[in-house]
Amino acid sequence: MNLQWQDFFARRTERVTGSQIRQFFALTERPEIISFAGGFPDNDFFPSEDLSRVMASLVKDDPRQTLQYGPTEGLYELRVYLSGKLRRAGALCESENIIITNGSQQGIDLLSRVLINPGDPVLVEEPAYIGGIGAIKSYGGIPLGITIDQDGPLPESMLETILSLKKDELKPKFFYSVPNFQNPTGVTTSLERRSKILEIASLHNLIIIEDDPYGELCYDNLVPPSYYALDRQERVVFLGSFSKVLIPGIRIGWMAGARTLLEKITLIKQTTDLCSSSIGQRLAYRLAQDGYIDRHIERLCSLYRQKRNAMLAAMQQFFPPSVTFSQPGGGFFCWVKFPDHYPPSSELLKLALEKKVAFVHGEGFFSSKGGSHTARFSFSQPGLNDINNGIRIFGDLLWEIENHGHNSLPAVNL
Cross-strand pairs, 98: 256
Domain termination residue (choose one: 291, 306, 336)? 291
Q: Is residue 71 domain-shared with residue 123, that is, in the same domain?
A: yes
> How much is the pLDDT for 350?
94
- Number of domains comprising the chain: 2
The answer as to whether 181 is a domain residue is yes
Mean pLDDT by 10 residues, the chain (414 residues): 88 75 61 92 96 97 95 98 98 98 97 97 98 95 97 98 97 97 98 98 98 98 96 98 97 98 98 97 96 98 98 98 98 98 96 96 92 97 97 97 75 51
Domain containing 35 equals 10-47+295-400
Using alpha carbons, select from 80, 75, 104 the residue that is nearest to residue 94. Answer: 80
**DSSP-assigned letters across all residues of 300-336:** HHHHHHHHHHHHHHHHHHHS-TTSEE---SBSSEEEE
Q: Is residue 102 domain-shared with residue 29, that is, in the same domain?
A: no
Q: Is residue 346 domain-shared with residue 201, that is, in the same domain?
A: no
**DSSP-assigned letters across all residues of 11-25:** GGGGG----HHHHHH
> How much is the pLDDT for 12?
84
**What are the backbone angles phi and psi of residue 311, rounded to the nearest 5°?**
-65, -45
- For the domain that residue 346 is a member of, what is the CATH number? 3.90.1150.10
The whole model's pTM is what? 0.95
Pairing of strands 142-149, 121-126: parallel
> How much is the pLDDT for 23?
59
Q: Is residue 40 domain-shared with residue 68, that is, in the same domain?
A: no
Q: Is residue 199 domain-shared with residue 299, that is, in the same domain?
A: no
Q: Is residue 274 domain-shared with residue 125, that is, in the same domain?
A: yes
